Structure 1
Amino acid sequence: MQSVSVVGIYGLSLLTVAAAALATTLADGRWRPPAAALVLLAVLAAWGGWRMAGTEGRSVEGVVLRLVQPAFFQTLKWDREAREDNLRRHLELSAAPGRERVTHVVWPETAVPFFPERDGWVTQVIARAVPPGGLLLTGIPRLGLRDGAYTVTNSMVAVDAGGAIVASFDKFHLVPFGEYLPFRFLLPAGMQAVAAVGMDTSPGPGPRTLALPGLPPFSPLICYEVIFPAAVTPAPAVAGPRPAWLLNLTNDAWYGETAGPHQHWAIALTRAVEEGMPLVRAANTGISGVVDPYGRTVGRLALGSTGVLDAALPAVHEGGTPYVQYGRSVFRLNPPGHADPDWLLSPR
């Protein structure tokens, strides 16, 4: 795992395929290639152990996060009669014992099933979850206006104790056929994306760093945005501070009790090691958790469970990783000017 801090997940995949290919030559009676494969794997394992040896679990002073995992069924998530129950469950969990130690509360993707632009009361209600002097970071759909037409974005907002939205982020890496329909002109009229709310979701401008009171700067990511290497933080050319942690809000309830949520968690963990920064992940039905810059789990909530996780925010790996400094340009597979491999399907 630690090798991705140097070569990234693409480089590790290449090394894995190379080791497997070398091992196949044993069938021809050749022993040197398989031996080389064993040496390669041993070197990777030894280097990973050396990298982690003596590393302390440092945390950011004065920051205690509460991750809320409501485990609300996907079939009820957008049900009009169940929306208020959904919101009530988030508020009750946010107020669970131990709240006096919490500085910031984190809810998962689209935790608030209302549009704040249309349902103006909703930010005042969810402000009840805000700790004294802190913020609530939550997923929420938002309405906008672009070129005279209404738009819907899958967003994250930071809400203060007064119910004001002090910062926001719009998901930029949308799910084809899930949040929008590519090649719509070829499809039957009236066809909708799986997760669309009456219309295709509109993409945000791209990765960004948010600097909020009481928190180190961070890069918000919604759902599967966390799976794309070299696309989870703003490009080096973008002005502003480099984020000190990754925040991933997601809803894996679509997959139920399958391997999907576990795979999503494992990939998200890999981004933490690549970037050398901690990952905080809040998921509707799990897996929610906090991971340090070396990929070690500080705490987590199991898939399908309901509850909260209170955890300190791990400190960033100072100076970044070799992958961040040099590896992106070597192992990035995207065309110039594109931040994601599925750029051909982009709704822009």
Structure 2
Amino acid sequence: MHAIAPRARTRRLLITAATLAAAASLCALPTRAAADTWPSKPIKVVVNFPAGGAADQIARAITQPLQAALGQPVVVENRGGAGGNIGGEAVAKSPADGYTLLMSSGGMVSVNPHLYPKMPFDPAKDLVPVAAAARVLVFLEVRPSLPVNTIQEFLAYLKAHPGKLTFGTPGNGSSPHLAAEMLKAEANVFAVHVPYRGAAPAMQDLLGGQVDFMFDPGIGLPHVKAGKLRLLAVGSAKRSPLFPDVPTLDEAGLKGFDADTLFGFYAPAGTPADVVTRLNREINKALGTAAVQERIAALGGVPAPMSPSDFNSRAASDSARFGALIKARDIKSD
């Protein structure tokens, strides 16, 4: 065999390297092109609770300015059930291309892993936080025919009638349920839990007198203003700007009571980072618009723009806090 001259060998190596580089660049083109052209079709937002609830209302308020900013339709689809797990699983197992998002209460990520021993997906691994939407407060409301007018009278009535009162919730492990369990533990009272498939049907039964009280995530506030429900206290660390004269449960003597949760948007794990960044930026902009702020305020909530990492940190903190309560109260899934 003839020896290859050094110059020819060098030329061949250069050609080979150039060929490999060109091939690599061609392989990268589809990913880069997809990121550059996103979004090029409608985006679906799965709300993992029924229509009419707080998550649904917040999602619909934000998707309107979001679709204007992205230049594509943003469609809301409700897939409730199993404490939010059904909708969460649907999104977790969707393609990670930025065209399927989840709007959820913080409970699915921070609470459900403590409730469901065999979840069909892992929220911490199979979803990525995109943007927080709102800090949602819970409001302790009672049917008007209940013979109490203040939070002190209500707590005294509960103690005098153990097991006689019922409370509705959107389901086991929901923030209203956990708020009620906090109340029962800290006030040393007992009432019967009636779980529903979402806040809206629970609210309907409170209005109809089928249950006695409820920690409302905000959808019942118009009924409070209309005199159809009586608001006694706020299950938050701070009073609500909407009802500055209504005390918190902490002020009523249940020290440290805080049942606030963060509602927000998630995407399937593996969604391109630049898509998540764009969505976070546009959702935070939407939270700054008057229409969205008014919609969230009408629910008694507070807009909560933040980065994905800050959103994730808050979820981890809530998981530790609510996980301890679930263990102490031996709360089980439905």
Q: Which has the larger radius of gyration?
A: 2
| TM-score above 0.5, yes or no | no
More contact order relative to length (CA 8 Å, sep ≥ 6): 2
From the two aligned structures, give the one with the greater strand fraction. Answer: 1
TM-score normalised by L of structure 2: 0.24
More helix by share: 2
Q: TM-score w.r.t. structure 1 length?
A: 0.23
